[in-house]
Copies of this chain bind each other. A is one copy, B any other.
């Protein structure tokens, strides 16, 4: 109800403030007897971590996971999997001067409006550091899905005004990681990097788009009315910090198309039903149709900028601020594994929901 739990069957409850004792989560509803690849989880965390390159915040977090429960001799028990990461390098004093100031386009004011108080250090619960829990749970979900041959890859397709041309290729994570901005188009990624360096110099920031493709999802996953598969994917993505938009398949571009152009004609290839085009993005009527699932996520510019800004404090007095903390010029390169994680959780959850359509003894 207070919204810190995600999923219906495979459920993550996340906890922790940015500069509190720890960030962590509890996963309930994981299938039992599954051998976890702890390394793979840590790898996804590395991709999310600050300080990966000159273009991300230098905050040094070990981000080393401590596992508290639910795993026995390397296998999941079917009981809750609890984990945490200590907050070690939290430089809370950075935030003392911001204690009673409402930073523009941050959650400071809305938190106070809601709760009457807030942990002002590092944004508290509103910090993107909360997404650590998501990456851990998503990485577990992904491992389970991979046993069915499902593969999820996200990449950066736009940063600020720099747009990667459309490309039907299914990227590998290694290809995505070839550039520090996680755009697999090696003609474009250097331009993005240049643009970010320039913004760093200006003390400014920008937004971006992450695209995601999921292959191997069988036809028949998703609920047809309120919990449509793409509605749940949309909610998952919109719940990530700084996301302002979501589109599936042809998305906003579909608006100006005609039905006769947009409709995905069915064909039968060696007995397998498929569609010739994929404007639907792999989902029809809220249910997967066996084609690639394909969606885009729009992130706004990072709100923490060094440039001086006008704002007010809790008493309504005008204040000038310049945010000195450790912040990225653009969030999308580090958000790639978060998008993958949320997608994995949604898909596994729907996969497990699909199990309840049959009753086997």
Residue of A77, A260, A275, A361 with most chain B CB atoms under a 10 A cut-off: A260
Give chain B nearest CB distance to A328 CB in angstroms. 11
Q: How far is the CA of A222 from the CA of B75 in the complex (A)?
A: 21
Q: How far is the CA of A110 from the CA of B2 in the complex (A)?
A: 28
> 26 interchain pairs (CB within 8 A)?
A3-B224, A13-B26, A16-B68, A17-B72, A31-B356, A77-B124, A79-B224, A105-B262, A105-B279, A109-B219, A109-B284, A113-B219, A114-B219, A126-B285, A148-B359, A206-B255, A228-B239, A231-B234, A231-B238, A245-B245, A255-B298, A255-B299, A263-B301, A352-B359, A353-B356, A355-B359
A264–B105 touching, CB < 8 Å: yes
Give chain B nearest CB distance to A55 CB in angstroms. 15
- Contact indicator per residue, chain A 246-267, by CB within 8 Å of chain B (1) or not (0): 1111111011111111111111
* Total copies of the chain: 4
Q: Confirm or deny: A357 has a beta carbon within 8 angstroms of a beta carbon on chain B.
A: yes
A26–B15 touching, CB < 8 Å: yes
A124–B255 touching, CB < 8 Å: no
Report chain B residues within 8 Å CB of A1.
Answer: 8-9, 11, 28-29, 353, 356
A15-B70, A21-B67 known; A110 and B4 CB under 8 Å? Answer: no
Q: Confirm or deny: A160 has a beta carbon within 8 angstroms of a beta carbon on chain B.
A: yes
Q: How far is the CA of A235 from the CA of B290 in the complex (A)?
A: 22
A205-B258, A300-B254 known; A285 and B226 CB under 8 Å? Answer: no
A82–B15 touching, CB < 8 Å: yes
Q: Confirm or deny: A117 has a beta carbon within 8 angstroms of a beta carbon on chain B.
A: yes
A79–B125 touching, CB < 8 Å: yes
Q: Confirm or deny: A84 has a beta carbon within 8 angstroms of a beta carbon on chain B.
A: yes
A107–B21 touching, CB < 8 Å: no
For residues 288 through 342 of chain A, which have their beta carbon under 8 Å from a beta carbon of chain B? 288-290, 298-305, 307, 309-312, 316-318
Q: How far is the CA of A279 from the CA of B244 in the complex (A)?
A: 10
Question: Which of B119, B125, B230, B359 is within 8 Å of A225, CB to CB?
Answer: B125
A244–B244 touching, CB < 8 Å: no
Q: How far is the CA of A294 from the CA of B135 in the complex (A)?
A: 30
A223-B3, A279-B105 known; A117 and B72 CB under 8 Å? Answer: yes
Q: Confirm or deny: A155 has a beta carbon within 8 angstroms of a beta carbon on chain B.
A: no
B22–A307 touching, CB < 8 Å: no
A14's closest neighbor in chain B, by CB? B225
Other than A5-B226, A245-B245, A249-B300, give 19 A-B pairs with Cβ distance below 8 A. A1-B28, A2-B80, A4-B79, A5-B28, A14-B225, A15-B69, A16-B68, A21-B67, A33-B117, A105-B262, A206-B256, A206-B258, A227-B239, A235-B238, A255-B298, A259-B301, A261-B301, A263-B309, A267-B318
